[in-house]
Amino acid sequence: GENVEQHPSTLSVQEGDSAVIKCTYSDSASNYFPWYKQELGKRPQLIIDIRSNVGEKKDQRIAVTLNKTAKHFSLHITETQPEDSAVYFCAASIGGKLTGGGNKLTFGTGTQLKVEL
C-alpha cells in the first residue's frame, strides 16, 4: 500500500520567515495530495491540495509543489505569522472514481510548526 513520509517532525521559524515541509510517497498511482492544518485539540482542516496534473498551486501565503518523477511534494508558507503555529499533515490518495467518494487518504506523521515572535 501507499506510504507517506513527512519531514521535519518539528520546525521552528521566526515570524516573517518562510517554512517548508516536505513529503514523499511510494505509490506512483497516487494523484491527489492534500495538506491539513490541525490546531491543538481541534479537527484537521484542509488548507490546500494539488492534483497530479499540475506542478504547483498557490493560495495567498501558502503554496504546494509536486514532483511526480521524484514522488515528493512540499508545502511552502511565506511571511509566517504566530497563527500559523499548528501541526501540518500531508496526505496522498489514488483518485479513481468519477462520482461519490471513498478514496483512501494515507497521511504523513505530521510537522509541528512553531512561529516565534
Partner 1 sequence: DGGITQSPKYLFRKEGQNVTLSCEQNLNHDAMYWYRQDPGQGLRLIYYSQIVNDFQKGDIAEGYSVSREKKESFPLTVTSAQKNPTAFYLCASSTRDREGRETQYFGPGTRLLVL
* Residues lying near partner 1 in the complex (CB under 8 A): 1, 4, 6, 9, 32, 34, 42-46, 49, 51, 89, 93, 95, 97-110
Cell of 42: 481541534
CB of 47 to partner 1, least distance (A): 11
Distance (Å) of CA 16 to CA 2, 53, 84, 102: 35, 31, 11, 38
Of 52 and 78, CB closest to partner 1: 52
Of 60 and 97, CB closest to partner 1: 97
Euclidean distance between CA atoms 105 and 93, whole angstroms = 5
Of 18 and 109, CB closest to partner 1: 109
Per DSSP, the three-state class of 26 is coil
Cis check: omega of the bond before 34, within 30 degrees of 0: no
CB of 52 to partner 1, least distance (A): 11
Distance (Å) of CA 85 to CA 11, 13, 43, 47, 57: 10, 10, 15, 13, 21
Of 20 and 105, CB closest to partner 1: 105
CB of 65 to partner 1, least distance (A): 18
CB of 103 to partner 1, least distance (A): 6
